[in-house]
């Protein structure tokens, strides 16, 4: 009796599975959800479609595009301006090529100085926040990036990268001295500092001897925020 019941059940299931247009299994295969799951599975099995590979390819493609844009910009100036093409690079006198590392750094320094003066004019007499972060250079030298956050004359919040400075150590007093020296060099009013943001390391946040406390000695309203 039990055997007959199971046989009848199997036949009923088989009919539902292989019942033409009414087959639930075939209907499931044809639905969009099933097709999506199949596609996701195939993508998962496809190593080339993994997100990290796609990101790497996109980054590599972006780098190539950026290099191409730069190369085109450089090539275009000599190519479309005969006056420029006739006096630069190999056509320039030996002592007037301006492509040595020392001269290139000097040119960049001049440009950077103009940008920094423009930032100073943007800030004007407004209050501003100082954001500082530490980083290691390839030569294993410690660097400190200085960024200013302020509200411009149009009421828009701005962030400007001011300078990147090599430091002999990361002691709080050393960092504060360098920050003050740079701000005063560009004629910023340090009494206008109303905020300070750091990366949260111990020498930055120490309650008594951290950079936060040292800045507060001169700027009592320079509230701290984690950067």
Which residues make Cβ contacts (< 8 Å) with residue 120, sequence separation at least 6?
186, 187, 188
Is the pLDDT confidence value at 183 over 80? yes
Strand arrangement of the beta sheet that strand 157-166 belongs to: 157-166, 142-151, 128-136, 193-198, 223-226
Phi, psi of 82, rounded to the nearest 5 degrees:
-60, -35
* Mean pLDDT of all residues in 22-27: 62
What is residue 50's predicted lDDT score, i.e. its pLDDT?
A: 61
For domain 104-226, give the fold. Nucleotidyltransferase; domain 5 (3.30.420)
Comparing 50 with 10, the larger pLDDT belongs to 50
Is the pLDDT confidence value at 19 over 70? no
Residue 135 DSSP code: E
User: pLDDT tens for residues 43-82?
Assistant: 666 666 566 665 656 677 777 777 776 676 666 666 656 6
Which residues make Cβ contacts (< 8 Å) with residue 104, sequence separation at least 6?
98
What is residue 120's predicted lDDT score, i.e. its pLDDT?
A: 93
What is residue 10's predicted lDDT score, i.e. its pLDDT?
A: 47
* Mean pLDDT of all residues in 89-93: 65
Is the pLDDT confidence value at 204 over 60? no
* Mean pLDDT of all residues in 4-28: 54
Give, in order, the Cα–Cα distances in Å from 4 to each of 1, 9, 11, 131, 151.
5, 9, 11, 81, 85
Please state, rounded to an integer, the average pLDDT across all residues of the chain. Answer: 75
What is residue 212's predicted lDDT score, i.e. its pLDDT?
A: 86
What is residue 85's predicted lDDT score, i.e. its pLDDT?
A: 65
**At 193, is the secondary structure helix, strand, or coil?**
strand
* Mean pLDDT of all residues in 87-93: 65
What is residue 172's predicted lDDT score, i.e. its pLDDT?
A: 85
* Mean pLDDT of all residues in 94-109: 74
Are 149 and 225 spatial neighbours (Cβ–Cβ below 8 Å)? no
% of the chain surpassing 90 pLDDT = 23
27 confidence band (pLDDT: 50, 70, 90): low
Report the first-to-last Cα separation within the chain, whole angstroms.
Answer: 77
């Amino acid at each position: 009796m039990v055997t007959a019941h199971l046989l009848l059940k199997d036949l009923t299931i088989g009919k539902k599975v292989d019942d033409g247009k009414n087959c639930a299994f075939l209907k499931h295969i044809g639905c969009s959800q099933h097709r999506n799951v199949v596609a996701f599975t195939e993508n998962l099995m496809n190593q080339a479609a993994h997100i990290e590979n796609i990101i790497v390819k996109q980054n590599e493609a972006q780098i190539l595009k950026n290099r191409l844009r730069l190369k085109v910009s450089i090539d275009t100036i000599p190519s479309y301006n005969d006056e420029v093409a006739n006096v630069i690079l190999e056509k320039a006198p030996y002592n007037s090529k301006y492509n040595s590392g020392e001269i290139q750094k000097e040119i960049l320094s001049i440009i950077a100085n103009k940008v920094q003066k423009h930032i100073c004019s943007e800030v004007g007499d407004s209050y501003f926040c100082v954001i500082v972060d530490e980083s290691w250079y390839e030569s294993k030298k410690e660097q400190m990036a200085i960024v200013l956050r302020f509200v411009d004359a149009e009421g828009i919040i701005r962030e400007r990268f001011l300078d990147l400075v090599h430091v002999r150590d990361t002691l709080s007093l050393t960092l504060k001295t360098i920050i003050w020296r740079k701000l005063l060099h560009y004629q910023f009013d340090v009494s206008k500092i109303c905020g300070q943001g750091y990366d949260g390391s111990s020498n930055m946040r120490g309650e008594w001897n951290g950079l936060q406390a040292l800045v507060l000695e001169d700027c009592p309203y320079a509230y701290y925020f984690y950067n």
